[in-house]
Amino acid sequence: MSECGAMPDTERSERRERLLVEALRGEVPAHVAIIMDGNGRWAESRGLPRWEGHREGAKAVREAVVASLEVGVRQLTLYAFSNENWLRPATEIAALMDLLVEYAASEVEELRERGVRVRVFGDLERLAPEARAAVQRLEAATGAGEKMSLNLAISYGSRSEIARAARRLVEQALAGALRPEEVDAERFARELYTAGWPDPDLLIRTSGEQRVSNFLLWQIAYAELLVTPVLWPDFDQTHFFEAVLEYQRRERRYGRVEV
């Protein structure tokens, strides 16, 4: 992906339009998932505290939502806070939670107007009551949105999600409501947070790290993976459309061969 930091605004918006038109000519991924990484490095490279990177990262979320709506993505799933992120310093966790509360309040109207339904998934019991209430309000206020789902993974870890699904199946079996032979991949997927959602078609990770960091391990079985060196706060609509164009150049085979 190209960098265009030095580009004047008009040139940038013309380029954005060109990329959007081009992306709209091809098949747009129905579900895009993003590991939003690099906020800390963005801030540190400017001599700023890490939370400034997170604040800038929240602006990039807005860019990704608008880009998704314009290009016709139906589901946008963002990794906002992992189970492992609870191991970060308390001050950084507090800054992230404050931003979450702020984001929920500042974006709710626009998201509702644009027809975006927000769904939050993860171990929400671990959130402070204020943060939990904020995301619940956001979900409730946007529940009728039909244009796109914005799915936010918060306090999320894929291994715990899978273990939780197994536990729920065992409970049903012990209660006599499920026979072991009924458990297959499709039945298992119905116990995940993502039950009923299509799997991601495209998984983007920003900031160059080539790993999935416990994100949607089950669901990305056949996702196209795209790692970009761009740090999350710098990831704008042009980067998003470029990612869609890259997706359109991929050949998805699902293990089959052409006949």
Residues contributing to the site for ligand IPE (CB under 6 A): 35-41, 79-82, 84-85, 96, 207, 209, 211, 213, 232
Please identify, using beta-carbon distances, which residue of 54 and 132 lies nearer to Mg ion. Answer: 54
Q: What is the 3-state secondary structure (H, E, C) of 126-148?
A: HCCHHHHHHHHHHHHHHCCCCCE
The catalytically annotated residue of 39, 85, 184, 214 is 85
CB of 31 to ligand IPE, least distance (A): 18
Per CB under 5 A, the segment of 6-14, 37-45, 62-70, 228-236 that binds Mg ion is: 37-45
Residue choice 23, 29, 34, 37 for contact with Mg ion (CB under 5 A): 37
Burial 195-206 (b: 16+ CB within 10 A, else e): eebebbbbbbbb
Establish whether 85 is a catalytic residue.
Answer: yes
- What minimum distance in Å lies between the beta carbon of 208 and ligand IPE? 10
Which CB atom, from 37 or from 107, has the smaller least distance to Mg ion?
Answer: 37
107 binds Mg ion (CB under 5 A): no
Please give the structure tokens belonging to residue 149: 């789902």
* Residues labelled as active-site residues: 37, 85
